[in-house]
Amino acid sequence: QLYNIYTKGKTGTEYFTQDQVNNFGKGTDWQDLIFRRAPISDHSLNISGGNAKTKFSVGSSVLDQAGIIQSSDYRRLVLRANIDHDISNKFSVSFNAILNRIDQKTIDETSVTRNALEAPPTVGPYLDNGNYRLLNTVYPFSPDDLGNPVAYFNEVSNKSYSNNVMTNLAFI
């Protein structure tokens, strides 16, 4: 019915008949297709010990976060180690190391969300032959730049990986 209001304002006539509107059925909930529950898990473990001259600590943590839009995820793994040793009453040595791995999948959230909000609920993301539907050709009033958000997050891959090492050695 919103399309009818739009086309009536532009052309003076409604695009869909009332029978067509009544026969559309439930339609496609585009937001339901792109959004998902996005659980976060964060776990860490640390072990420390030592004696009067030497102290140590090793630890690890994992953060795993699914994005609220399909195909957007973030995972970080951190390994950490510290050791402090008193060589004498006047000198000591300290060593710290952190290893960090980040795996991230990102998408253009703005475009995917905008396309889902503008996609006509009268059609689904796929044609009968299984190909993606070109949403900008569905109706004459469809925006020229309207993309299929399901095709976007299924076919576009933007993955990044980073490995970082930070160390520090100090003589005190």
Amino acid code (one letter) for 93: V
Note whether 149 and 70 are within 8 A (CB): no
Tell me, what's the pLDDT at 135? 93
> Across-strand partners of 95?
83, 169
Average pLDDT over residues 116-144: 90
User: Do 9 and 21 form a contact (C-beta atoms < 8 A)?
Assistant: no
Asked if residues 109 and 69 have their Cβ atoms less than 8 Å apart, the reply is yes
Q: What is the pTM of this model?
A: 0.74
- pLDDT tens per residue across span 81-124: 999 999 998 999 999 999 999 999 988 888 999 999 999 888 99
Helix (H, G, I), strand (E, B) or coil at 112: helix
What distance lies between CA 93 and its chain's CA centroid? 43
Contacts of 126 (CB under 8 A, 6+ apart): 132, 133, 150
